[in-house]
A and B are shown apart, each in its own frame.
Chain A
Amino acid sequence: MKISDCMKRNVVSIPATLTIAEAAGIFVNRKVGILPVIDEDSKPIGIVSLRDLLELELPDFVNFIADLDFVHDFGAVETTRPTLKELAQPVTSIMQPITTIPEDCGLLRAYAMMLQHNLLDLPVVSKTGKLVGIASRVDVGTAILSTWPSKEAKKQ
């Protein structure tokens, strides 16, 4: 089985001209974890993840204190929100480099890539470099499990 057999083909992607606020709206409406950013030829140029957006709100101390178990209430930061000015920035300001795999990639290689790059979703591109699909860890993982030998299959 190839990655193209288990990926989702209706990918939600965004152009580089969007603002952070507009991207946030798409995350909310489509309930996705990542938004690939594509150019006019629908080639992926970067990726915006839910995590990058939430980074705007996450307090600084989270990056400095390893064990936060003793902090039971985040107090003032719980109610601080990004400013309108921050939200009016283009998505390219928080866009990260994108990792993609070709559509003929094997499942195990795809899964290993996700593990190594710490990705939950993996965008898939065609031979011409166009974004054609997206596969989540669940998609890839269950596709691999479905190929495992079973007693029922043996009887048949």
Chain B
Amino acid sequence: MIVAAAVLFSLIFLICLWLIFTEKLDRSLTSIAGAALMVGVGIILNLYTESDALAAIDFNTLGLLLGMMILVALLEPTGVFQFLAVWAGRLSRGRPILLLVLLGTVTTVLSMFLNNVTTVVLIAPVTILISEILGINPLPYLVAEALLSNVGGVATLIGDPPNILIASAANLTFDQFLTHSLPIVVAVWLVALLLIRFLFRHELSIKPPNTGVLMQLNPAEALEDRKTAWRALVVLAVTILFFFIYHFFHISPAYVALSGAVIALVWIRPKFDEVLKRVEWSVLIFFAALFIMVGGLEAAGVLDALVRLMEHAAVIPPVLFGVLLIWVVAGLSAIVDNVPITIALIPVIQGLGAAGMDVGPLWWALAFGAGFGGNGTIIGSTANIIVATLSEKTRTPITPKLWNKRGLPVMLATCAVASILYAIAYPLF
């Protein structure tokens, strides 16, 4: 009976993952349908109740995501992202490699604190503008922005959804990410940038005929709403500051982010409906539904079985176990969305911890694998999908074939570098 339930629940989860992978159904719709089905079956089998399902949702993650989404929704229409990209373009004086480094840096730094999708959605159009008026191919810059935003997101607690999930589950703090993850990300980022420079060496060797044309782009004019931009940035800065110190006040990161959002809303007083429209509700639904599904897997004993299976693997040295986890998670994240992978693996790692294993280092392995793995395929991360979709509407579309040649090597190299540094720094984790 229990085995049958475990098989049934696993089947529902795997079918959902398959539907997300094949894009046969919208990922949020898939996950909410899967969640509803699992709760229904759970009630019939007297295994998983509605209140269990509600308790499985990590509201700390949802609150943190919602708060940051509102702050970004306030910043988005002000043109501040456009301002930064135009500024980077001017600073490059039209030199392709410098332009790559500058646009890459802006994208990385923004995606360390804001979500990658917003960053890429707002930086990519200006990238296309700069490339077109220079008369050069925008592809290297667009691919680099997706890749580097994924790398940058690994650096901080709020950089990427998997980090928020892991931090919430393992009680990791904002500073711990800066001391454990940031140094590795800096090294990995440099390797990624050098590799991108090498992979696109032909495109980047073409000198733009007229670089002076960049100088007529006025960043100040690109900034459309100075007052709102200023206020939103001040609140964002204070919010980030509070991420460093929230644990002294015994409050959660979610409370920090939501308070920041509320303060910004009250200060700026925008049209509230329009701000809410820009919040990615489908992402929040996706997360909540995945929590419910993984809660179901836990109730049906699927995750326990996985834990017992992995305990057998624990005979190998812990360092190797961690490195293996990086690669397994990276491989899975390249194929399916890294969010369901992370949500499913968190209870497994917690189970290993309960069984007496030192899981501290494993959390970081999970974060690195989920973060860097997404670069492997054109559908590996939302940033990749966004850039590819955007480029389809241009004369130089990014194809899956191009991604396999230019994105996959970067994923493999970044995972390799991360693994080496992880192994070296293992005693510190």
Q: Which A residues form the contact surface with B (CB < 8 A)?
A: 59-61, 63-65, 67, 69-77, 80
Contacts and interface: CB of A to CB of B under 8 A. Distances in A.
Nearest to A61: B129
A5 B75 CA distance: 54
Contact of A72 (B82, B135, B216, B394): B216
B128 A76 contact: no
B360 to A, nearest CB: 44
11 contacts: A59-B132, A61-B125, A64-B128, A70-B217, A71-B133, A73-B133, A73-B216, A74-B133, A75-B133, A77-B135, A80-B135
A75 B213 contact: yes
A63 B210 contact: no
Contacts of A77: 132-133, 135
Contacts of A70: 82, 86, 217-219, 221-222
B125 A76 contact: no
Contact of B129 (A71, A72, A80): A71
Contacts of A59: 129, 132-133
Interface in B187-219: 208-210, 213-214, 216-219
Contact of A76 (B82, B124, B134, B221): B134
Given A70-B221, A76-B209, A76-B210, A60 B132 contact: yes
Given A75-B210, A76-B210, A80-B135, A60 B222 contact: no
B401 interface: no
Contacts of A76: 132-135, 208-210, 213
A88 B128 CA distance: 27
Size category, B interface: 20 to 34
Given A61-B129, A72-B217, A75-B133, 16 more contacts: A64-B128, A64-B390, A65-B82, A65-B125, A65-B126, A67-B79, A69-B221, A70-B222, A73-B133, A75-B134, A75-B135, A75-B210, A76-B213, A77-B132, A77-B135, A80-B135
A10 to B, nearest CB: 38
Interface of B: 79, 82, 86, 124-126, 128-129, 132-135, 208-210, 213-214, 216-219, 221-222, 224, 390, 393-395
Nearest to B138: A60
A76 B129 CA distance: 11
Contacts of B213: 73, 75-76
Contact of A61 (B132, B218, B221): B132
Chain B residues touching A, majority SS: helix
A61 B89 CA distance: 15
Contacts of B129: 59, 61, 64-65, 71
A71 B208 contact: no
Given A75-B133, A76-B135, A60 B208 contact: no
A135 to B, nearest CB: 33
A61 B217 CA distance: 14
A75 B213 CA distance: 6
B29 to A, nearest CB: 27
Contacts of B221: 69-70
Nearest to A64: B125
A65 B130 CA distance: 12
Contacts of B125: 61, 64-65
The 6 closest A-B CB pairs, nearest first, are: A76-B135, A75-B133, A75-B213, A64-B125, A70-B221, A61-B129
A70 B124 CA distance: 17
B214 to A, nearest CB: 8
A71 B221 CA distance: 9
A65 B86 CA distance: 12
A67 B132 CA distance: 16
Contacts of B128: 60-61, 64
Contacts of B132: 59-61, 75-77
A84 to B, nearest CB: 16
A60 B133 contact: no
Nearest to B129: A61
Which of A59, A63, A71, A75 has the most B CB atoms < 10 Å from its CB? A75
Nearest to A76: B135
Given A60-B393, A60-B394, A61-B128, A67 B224 contact: yes
Contacts of A65: 82, 125-126, 129
Contacts of A61: 125-126, 128-129, 132
